[in-house]
Structure formats: structure tokens, C-alpha cells
Chains A and B, each alone.
Chain A
Amino acid sequence: MIRIGVPSKGRLMEKTFDWFGQRGLKMTRTGNEREYAGAVEGADNVSLVLLSAGEIPRELAAGRIDLGVTGTDLVRDKLANWETKVSEVAPLGFGHADLVIAIPACWIDVETLDDLDAAASAFRRAHGHRLRIATKYHRLVRDFLASHGVADYQLTDSQGATEGTVKNQTAEAIADITSSGETLRANHLKILSDGLILQSQATLYRATLSQGPEIDALIKRIGF
């Protein structure tokens, strides 16, 4: 049995169903509308596993699902050495989002990472603690800032409403995903001109632990 992990809710689920539907695999929710159960028509031995998008990288890495749809951002943040644990089968062309570093628009003196680093140094001296950057993408943000030599910052965890943390004074800057930038602007934030960490989109992944002719055949059948 081939297990395909798909986000369990909302537009990401619907668009994933559409994408597979166009390639001859009809996916549907089954049972009560609140029940997380689904079925796949058009192929034998394929079962649908509905999961939170954030848990799909982990399940792929463990080989508990063979294929899975989730964002590139989540795979790269949640899996150390992700290339060894999963491989990209196909980008799905939706769920586009950029992971960016944003700062208050009123910081007229900060435009680049270089400015952020200098501002962080002065901030630490003035306030006695490191400049806080709110994010849920700890690994990606840390690696990005380390590779650009930014110091005197700290990451504070924010699992939601991250754009509001600056106004609430629980962070000085944020690193979050954005598609149109509207939420950032509404919260009086601007993106650093060199602050693009990753361009993410929904992607079909294959677990490295899942090998075999059955999976090869299925991937070939959907056109890859």
C-alpha cells in the first residue's frame, strides 16, 4: 500500500486534490465532514493520509508516508539535511510564499542585513538584551543570518500572528512567510531589500526511505 500524505484542510487540500485529479488520481474526503478520512480512486493500493502540513516533513523523514505534499519552507526548516531524507518529485505551482525578514517601516535607517546587524549591536547596548526576531522558522532564519554574519539577535518563537509581535513589543523584527505583503504593510512592517530567505511553494516529496517499483510506477503515472 502506497501512502500519500496531504494537508488536511483548506485551500491547500483542495488544490492538492485538484492537482492529483488532473493527473488521474481522484482524491476525496469521506465520512462525516469533520472526520479526517479520505479515499483515492483511480489507482489500487494507494491510500490517502490527511495530516497537518507541518507534520508531513516528519512523517516523510520517518518513512511512515511514501509521498507527501507540503511547503518547501516546512521541509527545509523541520528536517536537518533534508536532501538526504526526502526528494522533490514536482513543484505543484500553488501555495507560493516568500520567507522574509521584516522590520518596522519607521526604521528609516535600516534597509539591508548590514543595517540590521548594526542596529542590533546598538539596540543590545541600549536595551541590555539582543534584538528579538519573532519566527516559527528557526533553522532557516538562523542559518540565513549566520551565513550573512548578523550578530546580536535572538530568535523568539511565534507560532501565529507573528506580524503583531512588534507592536506588542515581544519582538523588534520578524521572519515570516508572506505572499502579497499586505499583512506586513497593515502591521506597519517593511521587508529588508536583501531579506528574502526562501521562495516556497507546495511541493510533492518522496521519502528517501520509500523505495520500490510500486512507487516508481505511481510517480511515472502522474507524469514525473
Chain B
Amino acid sequence: MLTRLAIRAEAERAFAAFRATGAAEVEADLLLPAGTLLDLYGEDIRAQAYVTHDPDRGEMMLRPDFTVPVVQAHMLHGADPARYCYMGEVFRQEDEAPQTLQVGYEIFDRSAPQEADAEVFALFRDALQGLPVTPVTGDIGILMAAVKGLETTERRKSALLRHIWRPARFRALLDRFSGRAPVAPARAALLQHLASGTASDLIAAAGPLIGLRDEAEIAARAEALLEDAATPPIPAIAAAMLYDLLQLQAPARAALSHLQAIAPHLPAIAPAVATFAQRLDALDRRGVATEALPFEASLGRASMEYYDGFVFSFRHGTQTIATGGRYDALTEVLGRGASIPAVGGILRPHLMAELRGPK
């Protein structure tokens, strides 16, 4: 029988190890204003988080994760660089256990991102020592670089980048932009209609202008649609390489060789591949066997994620015991203009205790 005390002891043990690195301990509120989290994750988070209401403050959310409050606290008055650790409850509707302890560690450091990536990974490896877990790593930065390097319009690139964490949507867009999917009948009819007159005439004929979205916004997108329809598809070779990249799963060193081999054809990924190589060297220096370390290019591409570089998980079967990654862009979103490279992760002590088994 797994007791709360056993889980607590597991958490305390990991937390002590994190604190021993000299990281500052952070306390975060249990009850958070819902607005920031909704703006960041979108409405989807309502299906997972517990939302409650305060007559004065409006919607509040029981802490669904620590990252947002920790980043906010850092952006307000953090040291630079800084290392933080924390331990506390998070609440998610969909997990088997709706209320669970998390122990986490975050590094905010501008100097050597690949070193920080390796430091966090090694710290989590050490915290999980003795448990039957398997690591897996990825790098969303490589995917993003590949998208940014496509020979196509900025509009198409930003549409793909916006949906990088929604694999099905990303795939549908890429299929359309590369000409693999036929033009949908509804879109074809729409394009035909848009081409039949000026935007302002068509808008006037469609009905009165109502709502906040004004005529200029409607006309601008109508024009963009026509422009996009006249844009040639993403070249088949480039598209094929991107599809290949999305599927890439290999031991990290083999993945690196593969990426280095395709980099001459996708020059935009070269800096990201160099970063990947430096990270593997940094991991080697911390005793990680990168020859065998699993790498999956699409790891971390799930809705309600925000990782944009290195990502990692430690798994036992289908369970994720620990997970983390780099989220440089998030600090910019939450930092109101300020930003700082950041990497971190969390451990799930209730799963660790389960793996440890009854004593």
C-alpha cells in the first residue's frame, strides 16, 4: 500500500538533492489567476485544470504546473543567472491521481545553454538512480529551424511554427503547403468567390459589418488567401526531408550523424545541429552514454507544452516519471519584453514511490 508518507519521503529525498546544488528554493501560490494560464495554453487547459471563481478576482486556477509561477517570479525579481528548486502539489483533472506532488528544478542562464541542458538532464538521471526508468531525448529547436529554413512564404512558416505543438494540425498544413493534399472543395469555392470581385464589394454584398473584426482585417486575410493560392508548393525534396525529420528516432549519436548528413540540403538547420552536437558532448562529460541515449525528433510535441529546444523524459513503460526541457520563448511571453534562456524539469514522486515498491 502506497502511503502519502512514502510519496512525501520520495519527494523530500529528491528535493534535498536539488537543494544541495545550491539552487534557491521557490514557493508558489496554489491558487493562480486563470487569465495568464488561459492566455498561454488556450481553452484546452480547462479540460485539465481545476478552475474556480472568486467574486472579486474572477477566475482562479488550482496550480496545474510550477513553470508559469516560477518563471513569473524570476522575471519579476530573479538573479541572473539563477537556479531554482521547488516541491509541492499540482492539480490535473485527467491524471489518474488528480492531486500529486511534483519536485522540480529550473536553470535561468544566458551563458552556456548546452551545458545547462546537460546539467539538468544529469541531475534528473541522478535523482532517479536505482529506478527502472529509460531516458528519451529530443530537440524541438531542430524542427523549428527546419521550418524556418523552408523555401516558402513567411506566412506559411509562421502557420507551421504556430502549430508545431499540435502534430495533427501541423501535418495537415504541411500536406497542404507541399501539395500532398488536394485543395479542399470548401477552400476552392472560397477562392473562386474571393477572385470574383474586390474585397470591399464582396464584404458589402455579404452583409452588414458586425463585430470587432473590421473590414481591413477581413480584406487582408482575403488577399493573403489569394496570394497563398498562387504560391508554389514547398519543393518536394524539402518537404520529404521535413517529413523524414519528424519521424526521426535513433540513438542520439546516430541521429546526429543523420542530421549532419542532411544539413547540407537544409542549411537552415546547421546551427541547431551544431547545438545538438555540443549538447551531446556536454552530456558525455557528465557521464551520459550518448551512443545509446534514445533520441526522438518529435518528443515534446504535445498540446499544452511550450518547449522550444532540448526536451527529455524518463519513462517506465507508458508512464512518464520525469519530464523537462528548454523553454526560452516562454520567458519572453511571460517576461513582458524581457527574456532569458531557461531549462528545467519535474519529477513525479508518486510514480517513483510506486516503482520503488513496498519496503
Interfacial residues, chain A to chain B (CB-CB below 8 A): 104-112, 114-115, 117-119, 121-123, 126-127, 130-131, 138, 142-143, 145-146, 148-149, 151-155, 166-167, 169, 171-172, 188, 193-194
- For A138, the closest partner residue in chain B by CB is B46
- For A150, the closest partner residue in chain B by CB is B169
Flag if A106 contacts B210 (CB, 8 Å): yes
What's the minimum C-beta distance from A81 to chain B, rounded to whole angstroms?
11
B42, B186, B194, B207: the one contacting A104 at CB < 8 Å is B207
What's the minimum C-beta distance from B181 to chain A, rounded to whole angstroms?
11
User: Would you give 26 A-B contacts (Cβ < 8 Å), ordered by A?
Assistant: A105-B207, A106-B206, A107-B206, A107-B213, A108-B199, A108-B202, A108-B203, A111-B187, A111-B190, A112-B190, A117-B169, A123-B212, A123-B217, A127-B212, A130-B39, A131-B213, A142-B43, A146-B47, A149-B168, A149-B169, A151-B166, A153-B42, A154-B43, A169-B211, A172-B211, A188-B207
Flag if A111 contacts B189 (CB, 8 Å): yes
What's the minimum C-beta distance from B157 to chain A, rounded to whole angstroms?
13
A108, A146, A155, A172: the one contacting B303 at CB < 8 Å is A146
Tell me which of A112, A118, A166 has the highest count of chain B C-beta atoms within 10 A of its own C-beta.
A118
B38, B225, B303: the one contacting A109 at CB < 8 Å is B225
Question: Is there a chain A Cβ closer than 8 Å to B355's Cβ?
Answer: no
* A121-B162, A130-B42 given; A112·B184 CB < 8 A: yes
Flag if B213 contacts A154 (CB, 8 Å): no
Count residues of chain B with CB under 8 A from any CB of chain A.
Answer: 40
Find chain A residues with CB under 8 A from B20 CB: none
From 175 to 220 in chain B, residues with beta carbon under 8 angstroms from any chain A beta carbon are 184, 186-187, 189-190, 193-194, 199, 202-203, 206-213, 215, 217-218, 220
Flag if B211 contacts A104 (CB, 8 Å): yes
Flag if B210 contacts A188 (CB, 8 Å): yes
Question: Is there a chain A Cβ closer than 8 Å to B159's Cβ?
Answer: yes
Question: Is there a chain A Cβ closer than 8 Å to B56's Cβ?
Answer: no
* A109-B218, A149-B163 given; A119·B213 CB < 8 A: yes
Question: Is there a chain A Cβ closer than 8 Å to B227's Cβ?
Answer: no
Flag if A152 contacts B218 (CB, 8 Å): no
Question: Is there a chain A Cβ closer than 8 Å to B44's Cβ?
Answer: yes
Find chain B residues with CB under 8 A from A107 CB: 206, 213, 218
Q: Is the interface of B mostly helix, strand, loop or mixed?
A: helix
Flag if B218 contacts A108 (CB, 8 Å): yes
Flag if B206 contacts A169 (CB, 8 Å): no
Find chain B residues with CB under 8 A from A149 CB: 163, 166, 168-169, 172
What's the minimum C-beta distance from B170 to chain A, rounded to whole angstroms?
8
What's the minimum C-beta distance from B9 to chain A, rounded to whole angstroms?
34
Find chain B residues with CB under 8 A from A121 CB: 159, 162
Q: Which 7 A-B pairs have the closest CB atoms?
A: A149-B169, A105-B207, A109-B221, A109-B222, A166-B211, A111-B190, A188-B207
> A114–B168 Cα gap in the complex (Å)?
12
Find chain A residues with CB under 8 A from B184 CB: 112, 114
A122, A146, A167, A169: the one contacting B221 at CB < 8 Å is A122
What's the minimum C-beta distance from A124 to chain B, rounded to whole angstroms?
9
Flag if A154 contacts B225 (CB, 8 Å): no
> A149–B42 Cα gap in the complex (Å)?
11
> A164–B342 Cα gap in the complex (Å)?
45
B43, B206, B209, B222: the one contacting A153 at CB < 8 Å is B43
Tell me which of A104, A130, A153 has the highest count of chain B C-beta atoms within 10 A of its own C-beta.
A104
> A107–B46 Cα gap in the complex (Å)?
28
- For A166, the closest partner residue in chain B by CB is B211
Flag if B203 contacts A106 (CB, 8 Å): yes
Flag if B186 contacts A194 (CB, 8 Å): yes
B39, B168, B186, B210: the one contacting A193 at CB < 8 Å is B186
* A149-B169, A172-B212, A194-B186 given; A108·B217 CB < 8 A: no
What's the minimum C-beta distance from B250 to chain A, rounded to whole angstroms?
28
> A142–B48 Cα gap in the complex (Å)?
12
Flag if B221 contacts A104 (CB, 8 Å): no
> A207–B349 Cα gap in the complex (Å)?
39
Find chain B residues with CB under 8 A from A169 CB: 211-212
Flag if A112 contacts B186 (CB, 8 Å): yes
- For B190, the closest partner residue in chain A by CB is A111
B 125-160 to A, binary, CB cutoff 8 A, 1 in contact else 0? 000000000000000000000000000000000010
Flag if B162 contacts A188 (CB, 8 Å): no
> A118–B172 Cα gap in the complex (Å)?
13
Flag if A188 contacts B208 (CB, 8 Å): yes
B 33-77 to A, binary, CB cutoff 8 A, 1 in contact else 0? 000001100111011000000000000000000000000000000
> A107–B202 Cα gap in the complex (Å)?
9
- For A188, the closest partner residue in chain B by CB is B207
Flag if B159 contacts A118 (CB, 8 Å): yes
Flag if B210 contacts A104 (CB, 8 Å): yes
Find chain B residues with CB under 8 A from A193 CB: 186
What's the minimum C-beta distance from A201 to chain B, rounded to whole angstroms?
26
